[in-house]
Amino acid sequence: MRKKNVSSLKSGRRRPAVSAALLVLGLLVTGGAYAAFSASTASAEVDLQSQQVITEGQKLFAANCATCHGQQAQGTEAGPSLIGVGSAAVDFQVGTGRMPMQAQGPQAPEKPVQFTDEQVKALAAYVASLAPGPSIPTADQLVNGNVANGGELFRINCAMCHNVAGAGGALTEGKYAPELKSVEAVHVYEAMLTGPQNMPVFNDLNLTPEDKKDIIAYLEYNKNHPSVGGLELSSLGPVSEGLFIWIFGIGAIVGLTIWITAKSN
């Protein structure tokens, strides 16, 4: 082996494994650098008041949103008016990929985000400049909530649609309340504030900023603490639990029964 290695090195040819390793390394370095670069831009602060950002947003709006929402965001047959929805609504809808919508349907599903964070903020700045509306919450509005109070408020106001563990649930005619476990805190806050699609609005007089903080704390707690009951089966309740026990529990009993009654060889 050694001799062979030496000879292959001498001949100047690289072995296939080495080429593959180099390729993987190269891809990792490029991809990592790109990710680091884009992450550093994503966290960049955008001044929503600046005229430059608003103008940038207006251009993006005209190119991507005006078909349905109208040139002045006044709304058309195909889409509602965005006057007064505020930057929070834009950051939620565009920031979770729900807008721009791919096709008219019962509800706009979450999908990969179509814009960079800067572009989303620029769009938000433009829409917010049209009329006053709920604005994007600051980072300190999302942390240090009271989990117990949040749990109670969640069960009273949210759990009927989103499931008590935030696993989501079905609504009427193809609509659904999405699961909340993978949703960022800022988007949860914005959703409560603006009532996207069929979700009711929970303005600051219904759930105060303190209440919203508590609800987010409850959701974060759920995310970070495994279920005491062990295997959660997606926290969907009797449907998934029933299916599991019917298939595996009764399956095991059927198997044992066959074994008991089969003749020993």
Partner 1 sequence: MAKNEKAGSDLVASTSVNSSVELGTAVVAPDSFENPGFPAHRERVTDLNPKKMKRAERAVYVLFYLSIVGSLFAIFAYMFFPIEDGDTTSIRLNTLFIGLGITLSLLALGIAAVHWGKAVMADKEGVDHRHPVRGNDETRARAVEIFKEADEESGFSRRTLIRNGLIAAIVAFPLPAIALFRGLAPMNVDPNNQMKYTMWKKGLRLTQDPTGTPIKASDLTIGSAFQVIPEGLVDLPEKEMLNAKAKAAVLLVRLKPEDLKWADPQREAWSYQGIVAYSKICTHVGCPVALYEQQTHHLLCPCHQSQFDITEQAKVIFGPAARPLPQLPITVDAEGYLVATSDFTEPVGPSFWERSK
Residues contributing to the site for partner 1 (CB under 8 A): 152-153, 156-157, 160-161, 169, 171-173, 175, 177, 195, 197-203, 205-206, 225-230, 259-260, 263-265
Q: Which is nearer to partner 1, 55 or 197 (CB)?
A: 197
CA distance 91 to 113: 11
Tokens of 257: 């029964």
Query: How open is the CA angle 46-49-55, to the nearest 5 degrees?
Result: 85
CA distance 10 to 1: 14
Q: Which is nearer to partner 1, 62 or 195 (CB)?
A: 195
DSSP at 112: -
Are 168 and 179 in contact, with CB atoms under 8 Å apart? yes
CA distance 97 to 111: 5
To the nearest whole angstrom, how small is the minimum distance from the Cβ of residue 1 to partner 1? 45
Q: Which is nearer to partner 1, 45 or 173 (CB)?
A: 173
CA distance 1 to 240: 56
To the nearest whole angstrom, how small is the minimum distance from the Cβ of residue 171 to partner 1? 6
To the nearest whole angstrom, how small is the minimum distance from the Cβ of residue 219 to partner 1? 17
Q: Which is nearer to partner 1, 84 or 97 (CB)?
A: 84
To the nearest whole angstrom, how small is the minimum distance from the Cβ of residue 231 to partner 1? 10
To the nearest whole angstrom, how small is the minimum distance from the Cβ of residue 155 to partner 1? 9
Q: Which is nearer to partner 1, 2 or 225 (CB)?
A: 225
Q: Which of 106, 85, 107, 87 has the alpha carbon at shortest distance from 98?
A: 107
CA distance 138 to 209: 11
DSSP at 13: P
